[in-house]
Amino acid sequence: MIDFTSITYLKTGKSKQIRVYEILTQNRILEILSEFDPILTGTIPINIDIENSDLDIICYWTNKTDFITKISAAFSTKPEFKIRNSLINNNESVIANFKIDGFEIEIFGQNIPTKNQNAYKHMLIEHEILQSKDENFRLKIIALKQNGYKTEPAFGKLLGLKNDPYTELLDYKI
């Protein structure tokens, strides 16, 4: 099993994964975020990304104001920087976006330990599902994403989930 809490696995991945490793390392992004237990999640770590997939980095904050201040200080000079507050599943969330070397980066922070956040849980489950299926399944997920599906609904469609794929995936048994 891959340790997704460290990005070292990207060094031996596909060319885009290697490029992501270089960008994150050269720009010290995870190092800058280290006090917030950052984890790269989303489609790139599990090799189901499409051309415009962003880099999703989840973080754990205990003081929202402090988190916003530090994110802004570190990244506000980056192209297309914006930061906003949001309420997601009744949890206060901070979302920052900016671009580096042609990649959009999204930093997503909640007052929930990163390993307990849904983005991390979804990625682990999706990785496990991909490992249990053939290459054709992975390619079908990518095709659905290229046709506008978000990741969890794409999995939901192929797995025959009936209701809310975001919730149902968390309980999915292989």
Band the pLDDT of 111: cuts 50, 70, 90: very high
Q: Which residues pair with 91 in a beta bridge?
A: 88
Buried b (16+ CB within 10 A) or exposed e, 110-133: bebebeebbbbebbbbbbebbeee
State the average pLDDT for the chain.
96
**Could you read off the pLDDT of 114-166 as tens digits, one per residue?**
999 999 999 999 999 999 999 999 999 999 999 999 999 999 999 999 999 99
pLDDT of residue 1: 77
Average pLDDT over residues 21-48: 97
pLDDT of residue 174: 79
pLDDT above 90: residue 5:
yes
- What number of other Cβ atoms are within 10 A of residue 27's Cβ? 16
For residues 79 and 99, the answer to whether their CB atoms sit within 8 Å is yes
Q: Which residues contact 124 (CB under 8 A, 6 or more apart)?
A: 4
Q: Which of 52, 59, 92, 54 is nearest to 74 (CA)?
A: 59
pLDDT of residue 45: 97
Average pLDDT over residues 98-110: 96
